[in-house]
């Protein structure tokens, strides 16, 4: 089954859970890019993704969120970009065992585009294009550009993915609530800018991830739904992170998460997965809810 058929056949598609926070829980040292484990500890990445598939995820994201040329370059790993991205797809394929799809994950560069910063659109495009080509060559079923604060950078990332492949595109930005009830990204943008980019680039799916917990995502999802007829993806955190005893803790357990799944779906979510702090338990809860709809 391909990604578009999956969307057509399921009322609710189930995504996977967190990658970075789960790798940290498995011993990833502070400051080390988790993508390096695609080469150094592939068995741990594969085991995590297999847990998500066994919990009922319809797809898994590759461990490549920070595997564009700029983010890898900050760790002296730019020359290993193709190796890291290719390994990530191979690991995900082994983990799914043909039971789930593999979606190539592209995150932001971590730099500001001109004129707010010194990142030129050309340099950003080159960074994303190298990653997108590697993921496409390795055979991903779709691409997701997620956790973006800037619609301009999101547009560049999605354009690079489209140039590399005809695979479906998913556009996702991070937003925070305001007392007014509106939502803005760190760059001051709204869901309207996100949806405009998704329409412009012919994306198959549009939505939001990270930032806050599942309850906060419900009115945000409703706002996005009023702007588009595209399927909406929502990947909430397991709450806002807190530092407890020197460790980062996410407070929204599976029970709390489960209570809000019906309202999130009613607001317009067609794909629900998990972002920071979520586990295979959260994915299992989403799958149980999704199966109850069909």
Please tell me the predicted confidence (pLDDT) of residue 1: 76
Structure tokens at 245: 């005893």
Sign of the Cα torsion 252, 253, 258, 261 reads positive
Question: Nearest-CA neighbor of 171 among 105, 264, 269?
Answer: 105
pTM of the model: 0.97
Please tell me the predicted confidence (pLDDT) of residue 239: 86
| Rounded Cα gap, residues 102 and 144, in angstroms | 10
Question: Is-contact 67 19, C-beta < 8 A?
Answer: no
Question: Nearest-CA neighbor of 58 among 21, 11, 123?
Answer: 11
The CB-side HSE value for 144 (13 A sphere, CA atoms) comes to: 30
Please tell me the predicted confidence (pLDDT) of residue 188: 95
CB atoms within 10 A of CB 246: 5
Please tell me the predicted confidence (pLDDT) of residue 147: 98
Please tell me the predicted confidence (pLDDT) of residue 7: 97
227: left (phi over 0), alpha (psi -120 to 50) or beta: alpha
Q: Distance of alpha carbon 104 from its chain centroid, rounded?
A: 9
Average pLDDT for runs of 10 along the chain of length 294: 94 97 93 96 98 98 98 97 98 98 98 94 98 98 98 98 98 95 95 98 98 94 98 94 80 94 98 97 98 91
| Helix runs in 139-227, H state only | 151-164, 191-200, 214-225
Residues paired with 60 in a beta bridge: 102
Ordered domains of the chain (ranges, CATH)? 3-293 (3.20.20.330)
Structure tokens at 15: 């995504």
User: pLDDT tens, 47-72?
Assistant: 999 999 999 999 999 999 999 999 99
């Amino acid at each position: 089954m391909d990604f578009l058929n999956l969307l057509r056949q399921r009322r609710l598609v189930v995504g996977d859970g967190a990658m970075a926070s789960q790798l940290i829980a498995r011993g990833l040292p502070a400051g080390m890019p988790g993508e390096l484990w695609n080469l150094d500890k592939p068995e741990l990445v594969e085991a995590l993704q297999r847990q998500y598939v066994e919990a009922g995820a319809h797809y898994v994201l590759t461990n490549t969120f920070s595997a564009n040329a700029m983010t890898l370059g900050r760790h002296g790993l730019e020359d290993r970009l193709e190796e890291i991205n290719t390994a990530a797809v191979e690991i995900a394929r082994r983990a799914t065992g043909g039971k789930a799809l593999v979606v190539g994950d592209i995150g932001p560069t971590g730099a500001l585009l001109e004129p707010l910063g010194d990142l030129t659109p050309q340099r950003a495009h080159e960074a994303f294009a190298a990653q997108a080509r590697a993921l496409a060559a390795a055979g991903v079923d779709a691409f997701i550009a997620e956790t973006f604060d800037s619609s301009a950078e999101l547009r560049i990332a999605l354009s690079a993915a489209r140039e590399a492949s005809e695979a479906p595109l998913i556009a996702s930005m991070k937003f925070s609530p305001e007392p007014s009830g509106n939502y803005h990204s760190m760059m001051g943008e709204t869901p309207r800018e996100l949806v405009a980019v998704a329409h412009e680039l012919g994306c198959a799916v549009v939505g939001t991830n990270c930032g806050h917990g599942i309850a906060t995502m419900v009115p945000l999802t409703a706002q996005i739904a009023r702007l588009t007829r595209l399927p909406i993806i929502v990947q909430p955190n397991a709450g806002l992170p807190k530092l407890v005893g020197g460790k980062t803790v996410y407070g929204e357990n599976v029970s709390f998460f489960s209570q809000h799944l019906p309202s999130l779906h009613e607001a317009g979510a067609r794909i629900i997965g998990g972002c920071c702090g979520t586990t295979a338990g959260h994915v299992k809860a989403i799958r149980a809810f999704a199966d109850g709809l069909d």
